[in-house]
Amino acid sequence: MAILEILEYPDSRLRTIAKPVKSFDQDLSHLIDDMFETMYDAPGIGLAATQVDKHIQLIVIDISEENNDPLVFINPEITVLEGDPEKMQEGCLSVPGFYEDIERIEHVLIKAIDRDGSPFELEARGLLAVCIQHEMDHLNGKLFVDYISTLKRNRIKKKLEKSHRARA
Ligand code: QAP
Ligand code: CO
């Protein structure tokens, strides 16, 4: 297993649209394991393949306290069950150190494929529903900072660019 490099905003590769997964092979299984290791190490509760520069429709999530509830979503599709939006503070491993309140749909139905290639459905509410929507945005090249004001977004962009320069 390996810890992968996480792309950080405003890296343009985070804007790539992910392609559906077609083969459920060993390479995919290996990537899933590396993504979990990378997410647990961070630590985070969700990671999309886009964030590790792999542009396929793959998400890993674990919102449990003990890191013992790993969820894999491949080629996910979302259906709104209750449109009522809910505000929750979000962060992102690709936007380290910044958190903002974002409105998301409260109750969703997810249809996806698991790591063995079997389709499944999952009803989600609250944090899990928010996390799935956040990660599915990554697969479409979208970030939570796209929902906040231009002023706030540019402030975050400048601060991250400065920290990237300091690191280089
Ligand atoms: C998405 O985000 C999410 O800024 C997953 O310095 C977050 O795992 C969905 C993290 C909140 C719903 C609610 C962020 C780690 C982790 C940081 C994450 C940081 C270190 C973010
Ligand atoms: Co994110």
Q: For 69-83, how does the pLDDT look when each residue is reduced to its tens digit (9 = 90+)?
A: 999 999 999 999 887
- List the chain residues with pLDDT less than 50: none
Active-site residue, 135 included: yes
SS3 135: helix
Helix, strand, coil share (%) of the chain residues, nearest 5: 35, 30, 35
pTM: 0.98
- Catalytic one of 5, 65, 135, 161: 135
Identity of the residue numbered 65: E
**If you measure from the C-alpha of residue 47 to the centroid of ligand 2, how many angstroms do you get, rounded to a whole number?**
6
* Contact call for residues 113 and 75 (beta carbons, < 8 A): yes
Q: Is 141 in the pocket of ligand 1 (CB under 6 A)?
A: no
